[in-house]
Amino acid sequence: AQSVSQHNHHVILSEAASLELGCNYSYGGTVNLFWYVQYPGQHLQLLLKYFSGDPLVKGIKGFEAEFIKSKFSFNLRKPSVQWSDTAEYFCAVNGGATNKLIFGTGTLLAVQP
Amino acid sequence: SQTIHQWPATLVQPVGSPLSLECTVEGTSNPNLYWYRQAAGRGLQLLFYSVGIGQISSEVPQNLSASRPQDRQFILSSKKLLLSDSGFYLCAWSSGSGYEQYFGPGTRLTVT
């Protein structure tokens, strides 16, 4: 069965610090990968996605993620976080073109001004 | 553009009462539809999904059921609520298998 692991459950950073959130998945075949973000009081929204091609994916608000197939990873990065990046971040995987997204347990990011 | 609506936004129901949560999508046709439950620290758990009218797949055995009476309407129901049904319920849609999903605002259900 597919699964997704997010190793950091709660991250606290100061503004301008760099961010990297880990995401590992278990599925041996072709995968589609996603990062979602949920800002306080708002809908869950798509941050970025990887289907194929360049393994370094650019998303909204300066976020990027790198797909490393050999490591089954899709880590999220941002060079310099802002207070407005405070949110919960979810990694998700869809393997084998099924109808289902499997979500990680989420990482709560708090950015201190 | 596509929009997804869920109602009610919050609901407080006694144990043993019935439940009906509604989700509708606008601006697209024949979407895949999904119901999730979100619990703090546990991510999103897929409850049901549907690829068409009357077609429902259940992911986990539970006290809930789902129905899709129209192309863009997805309903989550229960005949008798349990305390353990409390949670945050999210509806989502996608344009097909493997594609990104778009989420509604959610319903906060408290069973007392």
Q: Kindly write down the DSSP assignment for every residue of B74-101, as one continuous string.
A: EEEEESS--GGG-EEEEEEEESSTTS--
Chain B interface, mutation test: which of A100, A105, A108, most B Cβ atoms within 10 Å? Answer: A100
Residue B38's beta-bridge partner residues?
B44, B88
Mean predicted confidence (pLDDT) in B72-89:
95
* Per-residue model confidence (pLDDT) at position A96: 64
**What is the rounded average pLDDT for all residues in chain B?**
92
Chain B residue whose CA is closest to A44: B103
Neighbours of A101 (CB within 10 A): 27
For chain A, the residues whose C-beta falls within 8 A of a C-beta of chain B are 4, 9, 32, 34, 36, 43-46, 49, 51, 90, 94, 97-106
Structure tokens at B20: 């009906």
For residues A8 and B22, give the distance between their C-alpha atoms in angstroms, rounded to a whole number. Answer: 34
B10-35: per-residue pLDDT in tens? 999 999 999 999 999 999 989 999 99
Specify the amino acid at residue A21: L
For residues B68 and B89, give the distance between their C-alpha atoms in angstroms, rounded to a whole number. Answer: 16
- The Cα of B77 is separated from the nearest Cα of chain A by a number of Å equal to 21
Structure tokens at B90: 């999210």
CB of A1 closer than 8 Å to CB of A28:
no
How far, rounded to the nearest angstrom, does the alpha carbon of residue A27 sit from its chain's CA centroid? 17
* Per-residue model confidence (pLDDT) at position B69: 96
Given a cut of 60, whether residue A91 has pLDDT beyond it is: yes
pLDDT band at B59; cut points 50, 70, 90? confident
* Per-residue model confidence (pLDDT) at position B24: 97
pLDDT band at A62; cut points 50, 70, 90? very high
* Per-residue model confidence (pLDDT) at position A27: 82
- SS3 (DSSP) at A61: helix
Out of B44, B49, B106, the one facing A99 most closely (by C-beta) is: B49
Looking at beta carbons, which residues of chain B come within 8 Å of A4? Answer: 43
Chain A residue whose CA is closest to B3: A43
Specify the amino acid at residue A91: C
A20-59: per-residue pLDDT in tens? 999 999 987 788 999 999 999 898 999 999 999 999 999 9
Listed in sequence order, the residues at least 6 apart from B55 whose beta carbon sits closer than 8 Å to its beta carbon are: B68
For residues B76 and B48, give the distance between their C-alpha atoms in angstroms, rounded to a whole number. Answer: 9
Mean predicted confidence (pLDDT) in B37-43:
82
pLDDT band at A7; cut points 50, 70, 90? confident
pLDDT band at B1; cut points 50, 70, 90? confident
Sign of the four-CA dihedral A95, A100, A101, A105: negative
Q: How far apart are the first and last CA of chain A?
A: 41
Q: Is B88 on the interface with A (CB under 8 A)?
A: no
Out of B41, B51, B57, the one facing A105 most closely (by C-beta) is: B41
* Per-residue model confidence (pLDDT) at position B43: 84
* Per-residue model confidence (pLDDT) at position A39: 95
Place of tokens 């349990």: B82
Chain B residue whose CA is closest to A48: B100
Share above pLDDT 90 across residues of chain B, in percent, rounded to a whole number: 79
Looking at beta carbons, which residues of chain B come within 8 Å of A88? Answer: none
